[in-house]
Amino acid sequence: MSAGTTKCENEVSSATGAQGSASVRRDAFYLQSQGQPLFAWLHTAANQPSLNHGVIICSPFGYEQVHTHRSLRHLADDLADHGIPTLRFDWHGTADSAGIDEDANRCATWQANLRDAVDWMRHELGCRQISIVGLRLGATFAVLATEEVEIANLVLWAPVTNGRAFVREMTAIELTAEFRPPTNETPSGDIEAGGFVMSKLTSAELSQLNLLKSHPWCQRALIVGRDDVPVDHRLRDRCTSLGFPVEQIQVPGYIEMLAEPHRSQVPTQAIQQMVSWIHTQVADESVRQLSLDLSHLGSNVATMPHRRESTSFVEGASQIREHLIRISAEPDLFGILTEPVTPASANLPTIIVLNSGSAYHIGPGRLHVHLTRQLATQGFRCLRMDINGLGDSVTTDPSQENVTYPSTAFRDVDIAMEMLQRDYGMQKCVLMGLCSGAYTSFQSAASITNPALVESVLINPLTFFWKDGMTLDSAPVGELVAQHYYLSSALEPKKWLKLLRGQTKIGITGAVKLLVQRLRPTGSRAENHVESVSLPARIASHPLQDDLPADLASIDQARRTLAMFFAVSDPGYSILMHKAKNQANALRQAGKLQMSFIKDADHTFSRRSARKALLESMQEYLRERFA
């Protein structure tokens, strides 16, 4: 590995900025637990001494972890801004840590993870006192872990008090999902809720958990309840019976926080109340003068044995390596580079995987982690990154946080490619993305001038055109999506009965209009002269006009190829054919556009069988394309 690469890895520890300020420093690293690497972030005060009291944030599991990632990052920043060093980490088998959903002994492993995190903060960071904040099932394991490890304060945010009830809740989510498993799929006893798998064994383990029988070991506790459900005092009463003081409050914002990532809202009031409570307890301990010296974090990694910017572990039958990469300081860009332990072949392209919607770099259902690690076993180097304003690439402009289709995404892609060329010797690059990531990959191929970009791989694109101010519900995208779904239901008798009963939004007249629209021959202003069209030069950004044929022509003229992977039930293929059928077919015939279709899959491949089919199809294509 080059000297430039080493420098880039170390610089990930110097990321600063607390939502528009430089008051918080964020250090990404791998924390070793039970012989496996856990991905972690340490948040500290950038311009003031840190207090000798640390906080560990325990995230929830499954889709709740993805949806609340942004809010928990804000919580960590606010705690650090008050001088309290704060650690947030990914449990084993979740997010960016090693392991998979189907691993055994999950409950025991997760409790060990938290105990190891407490040990790290005490012995490696030097914190004399530790507090833990847990959300949902993260709160459950916070209580269970502290049966063996004494801590100062417990903050339990919407805790899961009964594991059996949680398993029933996940089962209900699976049963009410819009996409049901195919009839030929053999039941495994596992639960698949929101794109994540809870194995039959893990379900059985969770069902045995009951906080009303627990014995946490702490000085005091705060129970933070939701304001949308009745107050339940049983856990408070249990803690009080154990002899330590407990406060219980209700706060707003829980439902909004758990919304889909692009609609999720940070529960500012709840965060402020928790931070205020913790800071009050810390101040009462009179340890403000016992501050930590964290000056060594950016310069001497050896002083912190657990703190590493790269790690290797076994994925399937192969060993792979991951690096934490500070792609850029301004704008702040973070990513994780996954590669085979043996040097990647120069003949194979580096694959950059972009954000899907506003979900951070692990992707919906952890899809991007599965994808990049599997491709690394095939010899490909892959970077899963966050566009500035999403995930762990923190913007200094609050108005640009959590924007699904930012115009600056193309700038960020260009910066990432330049970094990979400079520090890793990248010669060829493939962009890949699902949904909005597919759009960014597509328009990057049409506008970015870097010759290293040779192909874009689109997974379930919902639009090929965007401009600031648009939404997915606005024309023409929303209309075409609705058209696809209504027409795909045309042969289903139950759907026609709903239509005739007036139980649909569009009614009979609307359905007829959609049908006539779809059957009418489509055209484009560029269809008859796409070969000779003269495209205006533009900076890498959103296209100036909604002209998919011209965009395809730009990609072809740049000698780049396209590959598209569609779930059969998704509208992306219909949208492509509606807007640029002739051009798409011409590119397919010329071998410049490859299309693959995945059966029994929804938009985000939330079923395990669908993810497996996508990964296998993707691997096969890339091996044949770049062998």
For 563-611, what is each residue's pLDDT tens digit?
A: 999 999 999 999 999 999 999 999 999 999 999 999 999 999 999 999 9
Q: Which residue has the tokens 């239509």?
A: 499
Beta strand segments in 290-449, E: 310-315, 318-328, 333-340, 350-353, 382-386, 429-434
CATH number of 318-471+526-626: 3.40.50.1820
DSSP code string of 348-385 = SPEEEEPP-TT--TT-GGGHHHHHHHHHHTTT--EEEE
523 or 293, which is more confident: 293
Range with the poorest average pLDDT among 161-170, 199-208, 396-405, 506-515: 506-515
Gap between the Cα atoms of 375 and 369, Å rounded: 10
pLDDT at 295: 52
Cis peptide upstream of residue 364 (ω within 30 degrees of 0): no
Angle at 469 between CA 464 and CA 472, to 5 degrees: 50
> Identity (one letter) of the amino acid at 254?
Y
DSSP code string of 558-588 = TT-EEEEEEETTSSHHHHHHHHHHHHHHHHH
Average pLDDT of span 174-187: 77
Gap between the Cα atoms of 227 and 200, Å rounded: 32
Give the number of other Cβ atoms within 10 Å of residue 450's Cβ. Answer: 13
Question: Which pLDDT band, with edges at 50, 70 and 90, does 292 fall under?
Answer: low
85 or 514, which is more confident: 85
Task: Point out which residues pair with 567 in neighbouring strands.
Answer: 598
Residue 621 token pair: 């294509």
Radius of gyration of the chain from Cα atoms? Answer: 25
Range with the poorest average pLDDT among 2-11, 187-196, 442-451, 572-581: 2-11
> Identity (one letter) of the amino acid at 569?
S
pLDDT at 444: 97
pTM, full prediction = 0.87
Question: Which pLDDT band, with edges at 50, 70 and 90, does 480 fall under?
Answer: low
Q: Which residues of 208-240 are buried (b: 16+ CB within 10 A; e: fewer)?
A: ebebeebebebebbbbbbbeeeeeeeebbebbe
As a whole number, the mean pLDDT across the chain is 86
pLDDT at 541: 84
Average pLDDT of span 514-535: 38
Architecture of domain 12-161+212-303: 3-Layer(aba) Sandwich (3.40)
Assess contact for 603 and 437: CB atoms under 8 A: no
pLDDT at 4: 35
Assess contact for 362 and 96: CB atoms under 8 A: yes
pLDDT at 475: 44
515 Cβ contact list (under 8 Å, min separation 6):
487, 490
Residue 207 token pair: 């069902």
Residue 520, pLDDT above cutoff 80: no
Average pLDDT of span 428-439: 98
Residue 254, pLDDT above cutoff 60: yes
184 or 442, which is more confident: 442
Residue 487, pLDDT above cutoff 50: no
Residue boundaries of the structural domains of the chain = 12-161+212-303, 163-208, 318-471+526-626
Gap between the Cα atoms of 18 and 6, Å rounded: 26
Assess contact for 526 and 553: CB atoms under 8 A: yes
Residue 92 token pair: 């084993």
